[in-house]
Structure 1
Amino acid sequence: MRALIEMKGVTKDFLQGDNVICALKETNFTAYEGELIGIIGPSGSGKSTFLTILGGLQKPTTGKVLLDGKPFSELDVKEKSKIRLEKIGFILQASNLIPFLTVRDQMVLYNRITKTKVNEKFMSELFQKLDVEKIKNKFPNELSGGERQRSAIAKALYHSPSVIFADEPTASLDSNRAFEVVKLLKEATKEQKKATIMVTHDERMLTYCDKVYRIVDGVLSEQQ
C-alpha cells in the first residue's frame, strides 16, 4: 500500500507564561491508501493539535509531515494552501457548508476557485452514492443533520483529495445517521483509495476503522 500522509518525529510545544507545554510528544504516524483511521482520547489530550499539524494548519516544533511522499510541513503558507485545496478534504462537526450556497454550488465553488471545468459526471455519481441528488438545489439551513453531513462528505470528495480529515463528523447526529455517515465515509475511502483520519468521541464508530490510535497527554499510541 502507498503511504499518503506521514508524521516523522513530530512534536509541538506552546508557551504558557514562562512554562513550555508539550501538546504533542515525539510522534511517528503513517496513513496508507484505503485506510480509515480513528483517533480517540480525552479532551485536551492533543487530538486537535495532531490533526491541525497533519493538515498543515500548524507547524510542528520539530519533525516533519510528508504528503504523498513530499515535504508538506516545511512549505510556506501560500504553498500549503494550494496543496490543501488540491489534495486534502475536511469534514467538520458543523458540516463546513457555506450557508448562502446550494449543495451543488458548494461543489462548483471549487471549480471557480481553481478555474477548472465542472465534473458533472463525477458530481452526479457522488450525489447518487451519498443520496444527495434530491437535495442538491437546497441550502444548508433547509437540510437535516444527516443531509448536511452527507453533503459535506460529497464536498470533501469532489476534488478527489488524497487525504480526508474528519473532525467529530457524527457529533450532532443521532445514532442511525451517525453509523450511516461513517459507513459512507469508509466506502468512499476504500473505493477511491484515499486515507481518512477521523477524530471521534463515539467509540461505537471505531468498528468501521482499519486502525485506531489513542492520544493521552500528547502521546499517540496504536490500539490493538
Structure 2
Amino acid sequence: MRLRKGKRQKAGELPGADGLPGAPAATPGLAVELRGVRRQYGRGAGAVHALAGIDLALPRGTFTAVMGPSGSGKSTFLQCAAGLDRPSAGSVRLGGTEITGMSENELTELRRSRLGFVFQAFNLLPSLTVEQNVLLPVRLAGQRQDHRRAAEVLARVGLADKARRRPGELSGGQQQRVAVARALVTSPDVIFADEPTGALDTGTAAEVLGLLRHAVDTLGATVVMVTHDPAAAAWADRVLFLADGAFADHLERGSAERIAARMTALTGRTRAGAGAGAGVGAGAAA
C-alpha cells in the first residue's frame, strides 16, 4: 500500500496493493480493507469527526505501523478496523469478509477466531496459567483446546518452560510475550497491536517487536500496530501518519530518525492548522 507522497488522501480514494486508486470490493490478497470509513461522535456544532473518510488496503503478510499526533484518530482507526467500534459510515473488510453489518455476536465470534490482539496492558487473566491464557480465544470460541498448539506458540516466543506459571510470576516483557502467543494461537487473519511496547523498557520492547516481525516474515501474519514510538514503528514495512482523522503521509521502511522527523513535521502542521481553527476538535480519540 502506498499513498502518494505529499498528497493528502481524498475521500473515496482507495489505494490498492499497487498504490493505485480504484481497488475492487474484497480484493484478493488483502488482509485489511477500509472504504470511506468515518467515525463521528455527537451531533451538530459539537460533533467530533474522529475519522474523516479513511480509505485503505493492506496486503496479507505485511507489518504496518500507524502514527499521528494526539487526537489524530489512531485509536479510533484501530477500533473500527478491528470491529471493536462501528464506523458512522463506510465499510470494513477483514480477510475479505465484510464486517460492517455484522451483529455483535457475529463480531465477537470473528474476533475470537480470526483476529489477534496485543495491548499495552497485556490483558492477561491473573487466575489462569500462561497456557490457559494463550488458549483462551480457542476456549471462548467453543473449539477444542489444542495443548500442542499452545506449546508451539509458547516455544516461538521463548516461554516453553512457563506454561504452568501465572502472569503474576512473570516479568512485564514475559507477560507481553504471552499476549503475543495468545494472538498467534488461532493463526489469525490480522493481529492488531495497540501500543504493545508502551509499558516496556527499550530492550524488552525490541524483543517483543522482533516477535511480531518474525510472525510476519516467517508465519505470513499480518500486523497492524498503533504506536507513538518511532523506534517501534521502524520495525514495520511501512508507517502511515494520521492527522485530523485522515492519512496525511506515509513512509516505507523508514529508520527511527526519519520517522521521528516526519512526526515532528506533521505535528507542527497540525498545531498550525488548529491555531487557524482547523482540526478534529477536542475530545477526538487518540
User: Shared fold by TM > 0.5?
Assistant: yes
Choose the corresponding residue for 1:126, options 149, 153, 174: 153
- Counterpart contact for 1:102–1:136, Cα < 8 Å: yes
The gaps in structure 2 that reach 5 residues or longer are 1-27, 252-286
Superposition pairs of residues 87-102 of structure 1, within 5 angstroms: 87-102=114-129
SS of 1:165 mapped into structure 2: strand
Match of 1:80 among 98, 104, 107: 107
> Which amino acid is the alignment partner of residue 125 of structure 1?
E
Percentage of matched positions with identical amino acids: 35
Larger Rg: 2
Distance 1:190 1:36 in 2: 9
**Farther-moved stretch of structure 1 (107-116 vs 78-87):** 107-116
Structure 1: gaps of 5 or more residues: none
AA partner of residue 214 (structure 2):
E
Alignment partners' CA distance in 2, 1:113 and 1:167: 22
Runs of 4+ in 1 over 3 A off after TM superposition: none
How many Å separate the matches in 2 of 1:109 and 1:51? 22
Matches of 1:95 and 1:31 in 2, distance apart? 25
More RCO (CA 8 Å, sep 6+):
1
Give distance in 2, aligned partners of 1:74 and 1:5.
Answer: 16
Q: Which amino acid in 1 is paired with 2:81? A: L
CA-atom RMSD, angstroms? 1.6
Task: Give 1:139-158 correspondences, 5 Å limit.
Answer: 139-158=166-185
Give, in angstroms, the shift of residue 201 of structure 1: 1.0
8 A Cα contact 2:112 2:138, kept in partner: no
Q: Which residue of 1 is the match for residue 67 of structure 2?
A: 40
1:24 match: 51
Question: In the TM superposition, what are the counterparts of 1:45-194 in structure 2 within 5 Å?
Answer: 45-194=72-221
Q: Scaled by the length of structure 2, what TM-score is found?
A: 0.75
Residues 1:198 and 2:228 are matched in the alignment: no
The count of residues paired between Structure 1 and Structure 2 equals 224
Q: Is the 8 A contact 2:112 2:140 kept in 1?
A: no
1:221 aligned partner: 248
Amino acid corresponding to residue 50 of structure 2 in structure 1:
A
Could you tell me how far 1:219 is from its partner in structure 2?
1.5
Name which of 239, 245, 262 aligns with 1:212: 239
Q: TM-score, normalised by structure 1?
A: 0.94
